[in-house]
Structure 1
Amino acid sequence: MRIRLTIDGHSVDAAWNDSATARDFAALLPLSLDLDDFQNTERVADLPRTLSTDGAPASSEPKAGDLAFYAPWGNLALFYRDGHPSPGLVILGHLTDRDDITRLADADHVRIQPAS
């Protein structure tokens, strides 16, 4: 599945995995979210509801460019730096162009929709 993110007015493509959590997230689209920085590693945003984590691993180690759901807080995380193993973190997909990762570091807003 392909997803299009518009980060502060710039279009960025992402490849989504086929997990139950990613499919549940896709059902929410399109979404417009305000972003906040977290630990100088990721941009985060609250989601309108909790996502399914059926079949998800207990923990994930995010890499720069990963998009993830953090189940304990119910938020979306967009990583612009590598993170640490995190219980409850479910990787949803990743940016397809690694050069777009730098856009995440200062992003204030993202719109997410299915790619056409």
Structure 2
Amino acid sequence: MSMEMLLMGIMVFFSITAFGEIEAERIKFSFEGKEIVVLLRDNSAAKSLLEQLPLTLKFENYGGTEKISYPPEKLDISKAPNNCTPSAGDLTYYAPWGNLAFFHKDYRNSDGLVPLGRIETGIENLQEINENFSVTVERIK
């Protein structure tokens, strides 16, 4: 690849990014005066969740490793990975049950577990809650 082609590619990348045509999506979970910001992955399930926002959801503890909630509509998983190995801070969708899951501990690879995003800020807020809680979920613009 010539230096000229490389420079042209870099310029195209930065010009697209500068005009906002390629931009990562973030959502915010607000509860009890606290926030969690999640950087979403680029897949059909994450886009499907975005289409349902804003939402108010109730989360509950599940299995000592995650907090789960059920969005009003199932997410489109047609163009998304159908398994993942979640780490603390991952937001996922368990397709067989139709629930969102915030992992606050690492977990094993699971079929049907679709990665939606990763907590950027506020994981400590998730780890501190032991009871059920309600959240407002909004797109960050």
TM over 0.5: same fold?
Answer: yes
Q: Report Cα offsets for 1:31-52 as digits up to 9, x if no partner.
A: 1111110111110011111111
Look up the SS of the partner of 2:46 in the other structure: helix
The match for 1:71 among 59, 75, 95 is 95
- Aligned-pair distance for 1:18? 1.2
Asked whether the equivalents of residues 7 and 103 of structure 1 are also in contact (C-alpha less than 8 Å), the reply is no
In the alignment, is residue 58 of structure 1 matched against residue 82 of structure 2? yes
Asked whether the equivalents of residues 68 and 93 of structure 1 are also in contact (C-alpha less than 8 Å), the reply is yes
Structure 1 residues not aligned, in runs of 5+: none
The match for 1:17 among 41, 49, 52 is 41
Mapped partners of 2:104, 2:30: distance in 1: 15
Mapped partners of 2:30, 2:73: distance in 1: 21
> Which residue does the alignment assign to 1:95?
119
Amino acid at match of 2:56: S
**More deviation, 32-41/48-57:** 48-57
Look up the SS of the partner of 2:67 in the other structure: strand
User: How many residue pairs were aligned?
Assistant: 114
TM-score, normalisation: structure 1: 0.91
TM-score, normalisation: structure 2: 0.76
Mapped partners of 1:58, 1:34: distance in 2: 25
Amino acid at match of 1:64: A
Larger relative contact order (CA 8 Å, sep ≥ 6): 1
Q: Pairwise CA RMSD of aligned residues?
A: 1.3
Amino acid at match of 1:114: R
> Which residue does the alignment assign to 1:43?
67
When you count strand as a share of all residues, which structure comes out higher?
1
